[in-house]
A and B are shown apart, each in its own frame.
Chain A
């Protein structure tokens, strides 16, 4: 309940409730406004409508089996959530990831970042009445998600980036699909720049609206595009380079005023930089000589064959996801046996493989990092996405805490809309890119 504002509100003002089922509230947030006419005197933001007990649940799951829960945090860029969690565990374990897998991770997280920014800006533009821009951006996002879907097998709930590497190698048609997606996204970005940059309606609602100062942005713990829109240059990919970001050539776009329009513009420019990163990574990724196995065997058939004669090397299971064959493991997964799922080919056909499989999945076995605590952060769509994990030496995290970037950003909403009009809430809130799954956990 918004108890504070009910207590503090003046007698002659009006209280207006926005959300949680308001179309511009992106699902799950409630803002109680104290109004004098159209002007907001005070407000109270209430969150928690999407609280699923993520951290509590993770304490009761093994390190391997909690990965799908991370998909559901920031549900417009699930691959970056996967990456953040997985790299934290890898830091705890000290796992070395093959170079090809590192490039795949960079490709995937930049694709996700673009789709994250596109979604945010599309919703923001639509809520300001620019429906065309919304449709254009959604179109570009579809092309990006086609690429992601081909390789990971899913659009949103990917669970693709695994401890030690990635789930599968890139799809054979990856390059073609990627090229198409990049072309389409560039066209859309150009169109959107043309539609919005000098659009008077859009400018009136965003220029100098909800201005955030540098000092306040830092004091609120803002990170990501929102912090950079105020002119502070902090990007986790530059400040604490991970994967292969330090080998690629790209820039950090900055804003000047820290208003809604700068937050829009920084996101637009960041997408162009992400496209640059993708293009470079797609060229520099170490090539693989391993061809895809066409026409494998069904698991039942393979098991039958393996009974007839001992370990046949040409037994290939028809993979449920192309690129996840045993032959590709050196390219995409770390060689440490204890940290990665044993190849299915061995599990189905040899007794040692079966034992390895059970050792990995049995409760109390599996991945058991050493005692200690670790913090690691990656640059998510909204900013620094950090995981803090306390390990007690068992196969489950003793405590897992997520540093959600939009938690800190939304905390500043009350300050940003104070003194503005009710209509300003919508573009302000839209430019923040509040994601319920990540905020409420």
Chain B
């Protein structure tokens, strides 16, 4: 039988890696295992799924949970006019993640941003450096344990 939705097709193609597939408020969401990211993304980018555009890539810090960080990817297919959200979890003691720079060009800056603000290490990224913050900045400001008002000025502030 022909599977109708991308969620069903993906479940059939990657039975072990797809942990959950659901629809949240009208958005298609797929939760996959961390190691399956690159094969799943390669499959989705190619035909027939044709998710040619990486719309967005970001991270969420769920402090206190078993797998602390959640990577969130948004894909968009121009031919089918559909968005797809892919989520995968990262434990705090192993922040390595496959880089998508080989698939999409904008992944370069997006991953640098996530590295800068969350400290996720992207393996295979050609030039993983901070993007927004400056060299010598300590910590990763979007983590929940980074205080809102902590200041790290490059030049000493006047009293």
Which of A's residues lie within 8 Å of B, judged by CB?
1, 3-4, 47-48, 51, 53, 55-57, 60, 91-92, 216, 218-221, 232, 234, 239-240, 372-375, 377, 384, 386, 388, 390, 398-399, 401, 403, 407-408, 411-412, 415, 440-441
Contact = CB atoms under 8 A, between A and B. Distances in A.
A250 to B, nearest CB: 18
Contacts of A401: 56, 58, 72
Given A403-B55, A411-B106, A374 B25 contact: yes
Interface string B72-94: 10100010010101000000000
17 contacts: A1-B135, A48-B134, A219-B105, A220-B104, A221-B53, A221-B55, A221-B104, A221-B106, A240-B81, A375-B56, A375-B74, A377-B55, A388-B56, A399-B61, A403-B74, A411-B109, A440-B132
A321 B24 CA distance: 38
B38 interface: no
A47 B132 contact: yes
Contacts of A3: 129, 135
Contact of A219 (B25, B104, B109): B104
B17 interface: no
B44 interface: no
A399 to B, nearest CB: 5
Interface of A is mostly: mixed
Contact of A220 (B27, B78, B106): B106
A272 to B, nearest CB: 25
A388 B72 contact: yes
Contacts of A221: 53-56, 104, 106
Nearest to B135: A1
Given A219-B106, A374-B25, A375-B85, A56 B53 contact: no
B24 A372 contact: yes
B101 to A, nearest CB: 11
Given A403-B74, A415-B105, 5 more contacts: A47-B132, A55-B117, A92-B25, A375-B83, A384-B55
B1 interface: no
Given A47-B132, A372-B25, A239 B81 contact: yes
B36 interface: no
Interface in B117-158: 117, 127, 129-135, 141-142, 146, 148
Contacts of A53: 141
A440 B25 CA distance: 29
A373 B54 CA distance: 19
Contacts of B24: 372-374
Contacts of B131: 47-48
Contacts of A47: 131-132
A234 B80 CA distance: 12
Contacts of B52: 218-219
Interface in B35-66: 52-56, 58, 60-61
B9 to A, nearest CB: 21
Contact of B78 (A232, A390, A399): A232
B106 A408 contact: yes
A4 B128 CA distance: 10
Contact of A60 (B60, B135, B148): B148
A92, A239, A388 pick with most chain B CB within 10 angstroms: A388
A388 B106 contact: no
A232 B77 CA distance: 12
Nearest to B81: A239
Contacts of A57: 148
Contact of B56 (A48, A373, A386, A399): A386
A56 B148 contact: yes
Nearest to A409: B106
B132 A51 contact: yes
Contacts of B60: 390, 398-399
Contacts of B78: 218, 232, 234
A344 to B, nearest CB: 31
A326 B104 CA distance: 51
Nearest to A373: B24
A36 to B, nearest CB: 22
B55 A386 contact: yes
B74 A48 contact: no
